[in-house]
Structure 1
Amino acid sequence: MTKYIITTESGSDLKQDVIDRYDVRIVPMHVTMGDKTYIDGSFPVTKAFDYYNESGQLPKTSGSTPQDNTEVFQQIFADYPDAQIIHIGYSAVTTVSFNAAHIASEEFEAGKIHLVDSKNVTLGLATIVEETAKYIKSNPAVTPAEIIAFVEDIRERVRFIFLPKTLVYLHAGGRVSNMAFHGANLLNLHPTIKVEDGYLKSDKKYRGSFERCLKKTIDDFFKRYNIAPETVRVGGSPGVTTELKDLAYSLVAEHGATNPGAWFDTGTVISSHGGPEAFGMVGIERP
């Protein structure tokens, strides 16, 4: 029986219990604040917010390097010489990480490392990784080609959207124009961001309190997509209040998602762009 090991980047924000359960190996991404570069996940996300508040500069996030990938791949083969690696990468159009994994894979025996672009980030990527791990566990005789086909199918059905509490971070990063930023503040607008073909794209805009906009975001998510309720997960960046978390859980339950699991905490890579108190949710459309 083939031993499969899944690898992915730290920007997947994969929960530790999932990492432990399926022995997923994490390739680090990086965050630079001032003249210091840190390994993503090695410090609290709030440190990035503090850095912005103190300096007026956003942390700079960067993808994994070929060396980062090489070190992880080497360790896997040291642990399991006959293993097959399935690398499910952070959206290739948003970072150099996927290309870095490709470069690193060329150092190893052909046919031992299989790369697939998740076309997703954070909660969306984590969902794809976990579902793939479950698939492999349930199908111990599966081939690498079948695993890749599974990932390529499910990535096209994963729907991930987030609702920033503030546009300050997106504006500071150049993702929101001055006009859009000031207009949104003036009109009390909250635009949502969706992931489509690997890109982060502006989506529907809602007006009113953040609570009202969160309700509309969740309602429209289920109206728009034929989501399998058991695949729904909710989460956000640090700062989301207990009241808003409870509201999100009650709203998704109204749509049949009665077991969305523990709150999903986003890491520094995505939170540096979305800012504090952002809300996110993911679900997989039925085939």
Structure 2
Amino acid sequence: MIKITTDSTCDLPEALLREYDITVLPLGIVKGEGLFRDGVDIHPADIAAHVDAGGAITTTNAVNTADYLDCFSRLLKTCDAVVHVNLGSKISSCHQNARIAAAELSNVYVADSDNITVGMGELVLRAARAARAGHTPEEILAELEDLRRRMEVSFVLDRLDYMKRGGRCSAVTAIGANLLKLHPCIEVVDGKLAVTKKYRGSMERVVSDYLHDRLDGRDDIDTERIWLVDSAFGPELADAARAVLQADGRFGQILESKAGCTIFSHCGPNTVGLAILRRQ
């Protein structure tokens, strides 16, 4: 049996994690003086309450080598091999730490997703399905290598104060963007996060414009399924995004998820994202 493991940044719904028996290692979330485990003893609502009360923005810690080694060692007692799918190596040191741990063991294979959130999550699911179908670890790694070059992940932000407080954009830029009601689109490009466009207006309008920009006129999209992810506490933005995807009419499945603490710490509430797999 091959066991699939991953990091909490995959943002896969709990039901899918259970269905495919995927083990998740939580990143650390630093809030105030405390260190918490993403999705275990801290959740996005806790971060929002802390920041809204005037607290400093939370920061994230990579899974350390010792935790990877402990997890992999434990799992190898009951399975033949472990395939671990990491958060992109250009975004976090998780991948490097997992590789160091894997080097201490036999039959542990570490894959760089080159991505985040549900783009990474889709690769994790594909790995789990391949494992159930009897594919070898080497075959799974080859499949993931092909998939990751075809995965597109992007998202639009409602607020910039999380980025500002976290030192990711200047106060002047944040103030100017807020006054102009600008909403940046952030995209994973070559494994790194880059601002590729800025939208203006209400978030409901921005979500619609953003999705049409990502989808309209394209014939290179694998339409078996598409992923929608958001960090909103109410249903309005997800409802608006889902309506656009349903009206498009091409997708066999529209899978939805909520962003975890890692994405929330960087982007804040009311962020909406999309994960698309290209055919080639």
Bucket of the pairwise TM-score, normalised by the shorter protein: over 0.9
Structure 2: gaps of 5 or more residues: none
Instruction: Please name the residue that 2:94 is paired with.
Output: 97
Report deviation, 1:61: 0.6
**Aligned residues of 1:164 and 1:277 also touching (Cα < 8 A):** yes
Instruction: Please name the residue that 1:68 is paired with.
Output: 67
Matched, 1:119 2:114: yes
Tell me which moved more, 215-224 or 264-273.
215-224
Instruction: Please name the residue that 1:228 is paired with.
Output: 222
Instruction: Please name the residue that 1:259 is paired with.
Output: 253
| Alignment of structure 1 residues 42-191 onto 2, 5 Å | 42=40, 43-80=42-79, 83-109=80-106, 112-138=107-133, 140=134, 142-191=135-184
Cα distance in 2 for residues equivalent to 1:259 and 1:86: 26
Structure 1: gaps of 5 or more residues: none
> The residue matched to 1:244 in structure 2 has which SS?
helix
Report deviation, 1:7: 1.1
Q: Which runs of 4+ in 1 moved over 6 A?
A: none
Tell me which moved more, 206-215 or 51-60.
51-60
Report deviation, 1:258: 5.3
Q: Which amino acid aligns with 2:127?
A: T
| Alignment of structure 1 residues 235-246 onto 2, 5 Å | 235-239=229-233, 241-246=234-239
Deviations 1:104-123 (A, max 9, x none): 112212xx011111001111
**Aligned residues of 2:6 and 2:86 also touching (Cα < 8 A):** yes
> The residue matched to 1:58 in structure 2 has which SS?
coil
Instruction: Please name the residue that 2:194 is paired with.
Output: 201
Instruction: Please name the residue that 1:41 is paired with.
Output: 39
**Aligned residues of 1:26 and 1:72 also touching (Cα < 8 A):** no
Q: Which amino acid aligns with 1:198?
A: G
Matched, 1:271 2:268: no
**Aligned residues of 2:225 and 2:252 also touching (Cα < 8 A):** no
Instruction: Please name the residue that 2:276 is paired with.
Output: 283
Tell me which moved more, 250-259 or 58-67.
250-259
What percent of counterpart residues are identical? 29
Cα distance in 2 for residues equivalent to 1:132 and 1:22: 10
Deviations 1:202-258 (A, max 9, x none): 11111111111101110011137522222211121132x323222211101222235
Instruction: Please name the residue that 2:16 is paired with.
Output: 18
How many residues align structurally? 277
Q: Which amino acid aligns with 2:110?
A: L
Cα distance in 2 for residues equivalent to 1:242 and 1:21: 25
Deviations 1:14-61 (A, max 9, x none): 222222222211122101111111111122211111222224411111
- Alpha carbons of structure 1 residues 193 and 224: separation in structure 2 relative to 1, 3 Å: farther
Cα distance in 2 for residues equivalent to 1:126 and 1:79: 24
Cα distance in 1 for residues equivalent to 2:166 and 2:59: 9
> The residue matched to 2:224 in structure 1 has which SS?
helix
Q: Which amino acid aligns with 1:5?
A: K
Cα distance in 2 for residues equivalent to 1:213 and 1:153: 32
Please report the RMSD computed on the Cα atoms of aligned residues, expressed in angstroms: 1.6
> The residue matched to 1:272 in structure 2 has which SS?
helix
- Alpha carbons of structure 1 residues 167 and 224: separation in structure 2 relative to 1, 3 Å: farther
Q: Which amino acid aligns with 1:24?
A: I
> The residue matched to 1:156 in structure 2 has which SS?
helix
**Aligned residues of 1:91 and 1:121 also touching (Cα < 8 A):** yes
Cα distance in 2 for residues equivalent to 1:23 and 1:77: 15
